Chain A
């Protein structure tokens, strides 16, 4: 059941990205281009998503198990540190260069876009580099 729910959530998420126009990097760059002719659409996507999300997470926060009986795995970290800010800067620069963030890139991959393949492979490679560094850091910490 959890796997089917996951599949459906991914599907609805992807449909939302297509309907909103956010699967299209040109549209995202139109929002990030504050100084040029500015397309505010992305802001309204956030408004629509957060309006629903506020209610959902208000309910979810009070639960100890999900409606399907799974453990609630909502984040507990409240730390605002260098990792959070530096990581977000790197992500924002990459996002601004092409207009792809992870979700839309995967949806564009599903459209068979060759350029999306290039982007997603590089993104996975980047995530892999992060994992290697994390593992090496863990190993150093274990030895200490």
Chain B
């Protein structure tokens, strides 16, 4: 393993992480809920009365973040290398997997670990492990 010191951005990573933590704290203390993005979105697909507005509002907040950010600074560029077919495959896996496993990087990773949940620790270790292996296979074995 060699650290890519040019790519490493410790301060903005920490600052952004603190913001994410504040958002999760707001959602837990004000709304009494877990800021798990896959759960918030997934619940919109089986709409229950009184359950749609807050979910939709959270998604609108996420969607409008780039606009709000752009009022203060220049938006960073994104690099999405994958072609469309690959995006579809990955999207399907992320959609099914996060719902079947009851959470993603936010729900299990941020909130679950903050709650010291053994269940979320297992989930986080599993999806990170699967992510490490997948990138290893794609970049180092297949050489794509």
**A residues adjacent to B (C-beta < 8 A):** 2-27, 29-30, 32-42, 44-57, 59-61, 63, 65-68, 70-75, 77-80, 83-103, 105-111, 113, 115-116, 118-131
Contacts and interface: CB of A to CB of B under 8 A. Distances in A.
Given A91-B127, A127-B95, A36 B140 contact: yes
Contacts of A6: 27, 31, 53-55, 57-58, 61
Given A41-B8, A129-B95, A32 B134 contact: yes
A103 to B, nearest CB: 4
Contacts of A24: 76-79
Nearest to A15: B65
Interface of B: 1-4, 7-10, 12-35, 37-38, 41-42, 45-46, 53-55, 57-69, 75-82, 84, 86-102, 104-106, 108-119, 122-124, 126-136, 138-140
B114 A57 contact: yes
A73 B19 CA distance: 22
B17 A122 contact: no
A12 B26 contact: yes
